[in-house]
Amino acid sequence: MKTSVWLFAALSAVAALVSATQTKTWSVEDASDFEKATRKQVSVSSDGRVTLAPRVEEIFDTASVYLWALAEDSKGNLYAGGGGPAGPGARVYTIAANGHGKMLAQLDDLEVHALAIDQKDQLYAATSPDGKVYKIAPSGKTDVFYDPHAKYIWGMVFDSQGNLFVATGDHGEIHRVSPGGKGSVFYKTGETHARSIAIDPRDNLIVGTEPGGLIVRVGADGQGFVLYQAPKREITAVAVAKDGSIYAAGVGNKQPPTAAPAPAFPPSMPSPQPPASPAAAAPPVPAAPPTRQAPAPPALSSPVMPPSISGGSDIYRINPDGFPHKVWSHSQNIAYTIAFDAEGRPLAGTGNKGTLYRLDSDLVSTDLLSLPPTQVTCLYTGRAGKIYAVTGNVGKVYLIGPGLEKEGTIESEAFDAGLFSYWGRLTIRAQAQAGQISFETRSGNLDRPEKDWSPWSPPIAATQGGRVSSPPARFLQWRARLTASDAGVSPVLQSVQAAHLERNVAPEVRQIEITPPNYRFPQPAAPPAPAPPASITLPPGKAPRPPPPVPASDSASATMSYSKGYLGARWVAVDDNGDTQVYTVQIRGEKETEWKLLKDKVTEKHWSWDSSAFPDGEYRLRVIASDAPSNPIEQALSAELVSDPFLIDNTPPEIGGLSGAAAGDKLRVVWKAADALSRIAKAEISVNGGDWEVVEPTTKLSDSREHEYLVLLPRPPGNEQTIAVRVADEYENQAVAKVVVR
């Protein structure tokens, strides 16, 4: 049976499998591997270390949609400010040192975006989008302290002299306000927004802007100096470390120079119209109540993000000598706030997954935890190493640390071995001198471990791992449980490897094609000398892994050379394990009962042989595929396929009844041709040794094993003509006869 080329090519493509049935390893060792896992109360560093996360406690749940600001007085009272169009408007909340929280004040605006406390524990709150600074008494009584006549107030800080500095938009001005409430413009940024503000020990202001992404130092004399022009559009946060280094968070791509600049608006202000593409984690925010001023469209860092959001976030550090460089980046998360932990390490609060990051060095950062709300909008470093966080898209206040969670888990994604597999040893690399790590596994044949999997296995508590007891299956999953020591120190998980062995599956011969007669495949080349192991290139900073196997070629096309009497066959055979296969080719006549060996130990997926040693007739081939080269003898499997019937025909046709006669100026030649097995494919005639010319049978179609021919030719000069005829069957067997006409 002949198979169309496209079908054979498709089947051959399926056959391109590699790597024998052998023990393989599923490795989870990089940060990208661990980030795919389901984590509860554990942190993952960028260099692939899993530890217990800082302890998290929700200490107050407000009625506001967003909280944007935090401050703490000398008595340990904590204050949070926020608002938003979907809630009750601008509010300030207080959480007493004993943990009791309440609303302290409600202001006549949409939200509170900044809080500040002076040396006398006097609280100040700034509102937007009708920017005013309010003084709030412990009783909750509010008075307007300063009106900068600006639309937005983004931040406030006090200097050592008790002066209050107010960062505003939409004219990008910094105002200085005396303790008595008198103020004026202190510095003009030249930008639309003075978006963030901090102060260093020398009373220098550090200001971040939008849309130019500038980080500016403003001296006590009001003179500014741009420390860095960031590639990002908006500097959402600035913070000064103990060593004088400045950290700044930049978000959003800048507009192309040729494009009209998009208006910059407050990050806290959602658009009055529904955004075309809100953040995946952020629910739609209703329009502002009609009694309040409708804000303009949001800036790039808004929790309700417009379609123009792109580029993720960067964090830059400007060294004390003024050298700036990027120390952290994320392609999607938006950094809103920066603070420092008790050890002076920078912390970054982000959205839209509520993730808190710690910058351990210029090269390593840690994904500490994720809070249920979608944005961490402000971080505040309190006393005794306590970190406070407020959130957006559910305005809550959290206490983070200073200790670690007592227990946490990390549950791997479901590993697909590709085939039904046996599980071996679970090998663990960990530092568990402090605390404990235990492992459980489960397996199944469903691609999602929701139900109908095996139950979790008994814990594997050995530090170096142990044997997986889950039943053989296609999928495997592990769960690690980290437990802190009595002293509150976390163990460290670095990598997990699970050995597995696919169950051997018999190969499959899917198609056999008999190739055209009288052609043969090239003789197999002598096996080359063993090549040295291939070179491998290791990625930077990673442990070496075995190089992947190189796929073998299984081409759907092959070059054959003409060789009279030869026949050939090619086949498609696959092995789901990717095992190396060897083939046995056998032949049998249609009326015979036993198979005769043509060739064994064939390594190619084709073979050709001299068919002239076989009597003419119908035959079949049997191809037996074995995976013995890749398996122990007792485990090797085989499969076979028998071809459709095909002909061996090496006998030429017979020519009979050849005669010729003169008919006026013509020669009339007639003859018959017959073949025992195959159709007559071609007939030709030659006069007096001239060129052969093709002639057609009387039926005009060469479609039968018997044909009659009648040819009228122009009569050449002379009294004697020698007429030769030649016929060939479809196997190119030829017969020749002649007649002399006088």
pLDDT tens digits, 599-613 = 999 999 999 999 999
Tell me: do 587 and 630 sit in the same domain.
Answer: yes
How far apart CA 307 and CA 300 sit, in angstroms, is 9
**Mean pLDDT of the region 380-404:** 92
In a domain, 599, yes or no: yes
Output the CA–CA distances (angstroms, integers) from residue 293 to 65, 143, 313, in the order listed.
17, 21, 30
pLDDT at position 99: 85
537 in any annotated domain? no
373 and 436 part of one domain: no
Say whether both 682 and 621 belong to one domain: no
Bigger pLDDT: 633 or 11? 633
Please tell me whether residues 342 and 447 are part of one structural domain.
no
pLDDT score at 9: 41
* 219-253: pLDDT as tens digits: 999 999 999 999 999 999 999 999 999 999 999 99
Count of residues for the chain? 742
- Answer yes or no: is 10 within a domain: yes
| Average pLDDT, integer, range 272-296 | 33
Closest CA to 409 of 56, 37, 40: 40
The angle at the Cα of 448, spanning 447 to 452, to the nearest 5 degrees, equals: 95
Q: Are residues 82 and 35 in the same domain?
A: no
Nearest to 379 by CA among 353, 400, 395, 351: 400
Q: What is the DSSP string of 406-472?
A: SEEEEEPPPEEEEEEEEEEEEEEEEE-SSSEEEEEEEEESSSSTTSSSPPPPPPB--TTEEE--SPP
| C-alpha–C-alpha distance, residues 166 and 186, integer Å | 9
pLDDT at 1 over 70: no
Domain that holds residue 441: 24-52+407-502
pLDDT above 90: residue 524: no
In a domain, 454, yes or no: yes
Question: Which sign, positive or negative, has the C-alpha torsion 7, 10, 12, 14?
Answer: negative
Is residue 180 domain-resident? yes
List C-alpha distances in Å: 77 to 382, 507, 569.
10, 73, 88
137 and 121 in a common domain: yes
Buried b (16+ CB within 10 A) or exposed e, 544-573: eeeeeeeeeebebeeebeeeebbbbbbbbb
What span, in angstroms and rounded, lies between the C-alpha atoms of 575 and 598? Answer: 23
Q: Is there a domain that residue 532 lies in?
A: no
Pairing of strands 111-117, 131-136: unpaired
Euclidean distance between CA atoms 399 and 385, whole angstroms: 11
pLDDT tens column, 421-465: 999 999 999 987 788 999 999 999 999 887 899 999 999 877 778
Same domain, 277 and 133: yes
Q: Which of 367, 375, 461, 291 is nearest to 49 (CA)?
A: 367
* Residue 254 or 173, more confident: 173
Tell me if 539 is assigned to some domain.
no
Q: Quick: pLDDT tens for 155-210.
A: 999 999 999 999 999 999 999 999 999 999 999 999 999 999 999 999 999 999 99
Give the confidence band of 718 by pLDDT, cuts at 50, 70, 90: confident
Residue whose structure tokens are 């710690």: 358
| Per-residue pLDDT at 300 exceeds 60 | no
Residue 417 pLDDT > 90: yes
What's residue 539's pLDDT? Answer: 54
Render pLDDT for 634-669 as a digit per residue (tens, 0 to 9): 889 999 999 999 999 999 999 999 999 988 889 999
Three-state DSSP at 719 gives coil
Looking at the fold, whether 641 and 572 belong to one and the same domain comes out as yes
What residues have CB less than 8 Å from 306, skipping those under 6 apart? 271, 275, 276, 277, 297, 298
In the listed set 625, 648, 671, which residue is the last one of a domain according to the structure? 648
Domain containing residue 327: CATH number: 2.130.10.10
For residue 530, being part of any structural domain is answered with no
The reply to whether 249 and 108 lie within a common domain is yes
Q: CB–CB of 573/625 below 8 Å?
A: yes
* 562: amino acid identity, one letter: Y
Q: Which of 33, 66, 67 is nearest to 47 (CA)?
A: 33
Instruction: Show the tokens assigned to 635.
Output: 């485990």
Say whether the peptide bond before residue 472 is cis (omega within 30 degrees of 0).
no
pLDDT value at position 553?
Answer: 38
Rounded Cα distance, 128 and 163, in Å: 21
Neighbours of 130 (CB within 10 A): 17
pLDDT of residue 431: 87
Query: Of all residues in the chain, what percent carry a pLDDT higher than 90?
Result: 75
Classify burial at 3, counting beta carbons within 10 Å of its beta carbon; exposed 0-12, middle 13-18, buried 19 or more.
Answer: middle
633, exposed or middle or buried, with CB in 10 Å at 0-12, 13-18, 19+?
exposed
Give me the pLDDT at residue 65, please.
94
Mean per-residue pLDDT for 703-720? 92
Q: What CATH number did the domain enclosing 719 receive? A: 2.60.40.10
> CA nearest 742: which of 727, 725, 714, 723?
723
Ranked by mean pLDDT, the top range of 306-320, 421-435, 475-489 is 475-489
Last residue of a domain, one of 400, 416, 446: 400
Q: If pLDDT is split at 50, 70 and 90, which confidence band does 481 have?
A: very high
400, 435, 457 - which closes a domain: 400
* Site of tokens 């964090």: 315
d(CA 426, CA 437): 13
H or E stretch at 33: helix 31-35
> What's the rounded Cα separation, in Å, for the pair 237 and 165?
16
Least confident stretch, 203-212, 256-265, 701-710? 256-265
Mean pLDDT in residue range 19-47: 89
> Residue 386: its pLDDT value, please?
87
Tokens representing residue 515 in the block: 């190739």
Reduced to 3 states (helix: H, G, I; strand: E, B; else coil), residue 368 is strand
The verdict on 391 and 447 lying in the same domain is no
Neighbour count for residue 336 (Cβ, 10 Å)? 26
Are residues 350 and 267 in contact, defined by beta-carbon separation less than 8 angstroms?
no
Tell whether the model's pLDDT for residue 542 goes beyond 60.
Answer: no
Q: Are 69 and 174 part of one and the same domain?
A: yes
Distance CA 389, CA 357 (A): 12
The C-alpha atoms of residue 65 and residue 86 are separated, in whole angstroms, by 7
Question: What is the chain's mean pLDDT, rounded?
Answer: 86
Residue 433, CA distances (Å) to 53, 460, 480, 492 in order: 18, 17, 16, 9
Which of 418, 413, 574 has its CA nearest to residue 502?
Answer: 418
Q: Is the omega angle on the peptide bond into residue 688 within 30 degrees of 0, that is, cis? A: no
CA-CA-CA-CA dihedral for 252, 258, 259, 265, to nearest 10: 50
Sign of dihedral through CA atoms 266, 267, 269, 275?
positive
Instruction: Count CB atoms within 10 A of the CB of residue 540.
Output: 4
Residue pair 335/349 in contact (Cβ under 8 Å)? The answer is yes
pLDDT band at residue 89 using 50, 70 and 90 as cut-offs: very high
Q: Which two tokens stand for residue 121?
A: 């524990």
Give me the residue label for tokens 């960067």. Answer: 314
Dihedral of the CA atoms 230, 235, 237, 241 (nearest 10)?
20
**End-to-end CA distance of the chain, in Å?**
49
For 135-158, how does the pLDDT look when each residue is reduced to its tens digit (9 = 90+)? 999 999 999 999 999 999 999 999
Measured between alpha carbons, how far is 583 from 509 in angstroms, rounded to an integer?
10
Number of independent structural domains in the chain = 4
Measure the CA–CA gap between 426 and 447, rounded to whole angstroms: 21
State whether 587 and 638 are in the same domain. yes
Closest by Cα among 417, 491, 483, 469 to 447: 417
What is the rounded (10 degree) CA torsion for 279, 280, 283, 289?
A: 20
Residue 14's pLDDT band, with cuts at 50, 70 and 90, is: very low
Q: How far apart are CA 536 and CA 548, in angstroms?
A: 10
Q: Which residues contact 55 (CB under 8 A, 6 or more apart)?
A: 400, 401, 402, 403, 404, 405
Residue 531's pLDDT band, with cuts at 50, 70 and 90, is: low
Give SS3 for 611.
helix
What is the Cα Rg of the chain in Å?
A: 42
Confidence of residue 255 (pLDDT cuts 50, 70, 90): confident
* Encoded tokens for 549: 């196997």
CB 367 within 8 A of CB 35: yes
Q: What is the pLDDT of residue 87?
A: 77
